[in-house]
Amino acid sequence: MIIGGSASQKLAAQIARKMGELLCPIETRKFPDGERYIRIKGEIEDEIIVVQSTGYPQDENLMELFLILKTLQSMNVKDIKVVIPYFGYGRQERSFNSGEAVSASVIADLIEFSGVSEVFCINLHEDGICKLFNVPTHNLSAMSSIAEYVDSCMNNPVILAPDRGAIGFAREIADILSCDCDYLEKKRITPEVVETKTKTLNVSGREVVIVDDIISTGGTIVNAIKMLKENGAARIVVSCVHPVLVDDALLKIFAAGADEVIGTDTLKSEVSMVSVAGLVADALNR
């Protein structure tokens, strides 16, 4: 039986359909002062899978997840698994400066404290987050789903990683589609400002797919598009797993010259046209 939190209702329904499992109805709303209310309705089974992304508004979605998990625990559900398609608070999986909160570790502790037996995430910002859990934790990659989409509408594209951290993603897609890949080097100056090193790319007249795990402010992608334009790319498709898309990020990306922007449904957005439902259902079935 699958339960979808309010951040992931459609994805939960698609996972349930693919697995041939029932979708458990829940009521989730806010009290007038903003506090969360949840109620699990209907008959509960012994094994439950909860699907809830913890993106913006992170605190509310996390609180809702904890309320669902603890309620299931209090209802004596034997096995509770959790799917967190986008893992919020994933940036600090360690302390970079003394006194900093290791946010990802705090969240992992709270999720485990809620009695889950297994955790499934998709392209965690840092793979090390898996090790913060003491229960089996899987970091699934959505690159095959993105590759399938690219294959359906592009012809022998070049796959470009906009920074070193994304090289693995670009290689994964390039291997699946047997096409070329390249990367750029980026330096983050502030959370909003990035600098990308100038590079000659072999993309003249070619279709190019930029791939990253997260698009947040869009700064990384805008720089990559500028570089591709300078090198004569014919068509630029921007892809990501988690379309966080803060404020006018999408507008900035199109204004820079993107022909198309696609993301997955780990987060709800205008560009979430690639579904990870099959990927998650397969992992759960295994």
> What is the DSSP pairing of strand 118-122 with strand 186-188?
unpaired
Nearer to ligand R5P, 8 or 220 (CB): 220
Nearer to ligand R5P, 82 or 215 (CB): 215
CA–CA separation, 84 and 61 (whole Å): 11
Q: Which of 18, 186, 197, 252 is catalytic?
A: 186
C-alpha distances in angstroms, 247 versus 196, 216, 244? 22, 9, 9
- Closest CB 2 distance from ligand R5P, rounded Å: 29
- Closest CB 164 distance from ligand R5P, rounded Å: 9
- Please give the structure tokens belonging to residue 245: 């898309």
C-alpha distances in angstroms, 280 versus 65, 114, 269? 18, 21, 19
Nearer to ligand R5P, 16 or 225 (CB): 225
- Closest CB 218 distance from ligand R5P, rounded Å: 5
- List interacting residues with ligand R5P (CB under 6 A): 163, 165-166, 194, 212-220
CA–CA separation, 235 and 51 (whole Å): 36
10 belongs to the catalytic site: no
> What is the DSSP pairing of strand 158-161 with strand 207-215?
parallel
Catalogue the long-range contacts made by 24-28 (C-beta closer than 8 Å, 24 or more residues apart): 24/48, 26/68, 28/64
Nearer to ligand R5P, 207 or 212 (CB): 212
- Closest CB 261 distance from ligand R5P, rounded Å: 12
Name the β-bridge partners of 235. 207
Catalytic residue list: 186
